[in-house]
Amino acid sequence: MNFRILWLVLVGVFAYLLFYEWSEESKIKSELVASSRVTPEGGGVFSASTTTISNQNIQLSIDIESGSIVGVELKKYPVFQGEGSPNIRLLGSENSFKFYARSGYGNKSIAYKVAEQSVDSLLLISDDGSHSKEFTFEKDYVLNVVDQNLSASLAPDPYVALYRTDGTPLDSRGGFFEGSSYVGVAFNTPDDPYKKL
């Protein structure tokens, strides 16, 4: 066996893989710059009005009308190394890809309005005053969402759900060497702490 030919073939394959990864990353960077985080236009799941709360680690975008969490960005983790790179998004609401969290009561659609807001908390009250939803940061990466039924006449049927459309998120690299790093959520309660398998 001729080791020189084997060596040249391996170098050629390695060079091709490096070029492929470089071109994929360059394409994604140009798409990120061109899109600059387009917000969804009307007629979708979310209203046009969103608000933002944050702490030192996380920035949350919340749809005021539905009370859905429509965007989560990790402030300390950029998509790419270097200046000007956007933060990694765990949830998003672009037209091509939606990944968001909703909570509430049964199949009843509740419209909210802002009652109180600070930098790191938000209180939403329903238009008729029968429901409230409060978002507060407890620790570095812990968010408390409290849905309350203020009307004693209604029996609550609470739910929490994550919704995701098919498609590749804009800042997902998805190249040859890399896959998506976040596709779900883990729940943690004092009675039932999260256990890594």
Establish if 70 belongs to a structural domain: yes
Geometric angle at alpha carbon 183, from 178 and 189, rounded to 5°: 135
Establish if 4 belongs to a structural domain: no
Establish if 75 belongs to a structural domain: yes
Contact (Cβ atoms closer than 8 angstroms) between residue 60 and residue 50: no
Task: State the pLDDT at residue 11.
Answer: 94
Burial of 124 (0-12, 13-18, 19+ CB in 10 A): buried
For residue 182, give the nearest of 88, 55, 95 by alpha carbon.
88
Establish if 30 belongs to a structural domain: no
Establish if 87 belongs to a structural domain: yes
Instruction: For residue 38, name the pLDDT band (cuts at 50, 70, 90).
Output: very low
Residue-number span of the structural domain to which 58 is assigned: 37-164
| Distance in angstroms (rounded) separating the CA atoms of residues 81 and 87 | 10
Q: Give residue-wise pLDDT tens across range 140-192.
A: 888 898 888 877 666 667 778 877 776 666 565 555 555 555 556 677 788 88
Reduced to 3 states, what is the DSSP secondary structure of residue 65?
Answer: coil
Domain CATH number, residue 86: 2.70.98.90
Establish if 180 belongs to a structural domain: no
Reduced to 3 states, what is the DSSP secondary structure of residue 19?
Answer: helix
Task: State the total domains in the chain.
Answer: 1
Establish if 133 belongs to a structural domain: yes
Q: Give residue-wise pLDDT tens across range 9-28.
A: 999 999 999 988 888 777 66
Establish if 27 belongs to a structural domain: no
Question: What ranges make up the beta strands (E) of the chain?
Answer: 50-54, 58-63, 69-78, 87-93, 98-105, 112-117, 121-126, 131-137, 143-149, 158-164
Q: Give residue-wise pLDDT tens across range 43-72.
A: 445 556 889 999 999 999 999 988 888 888
pTM: 0.64
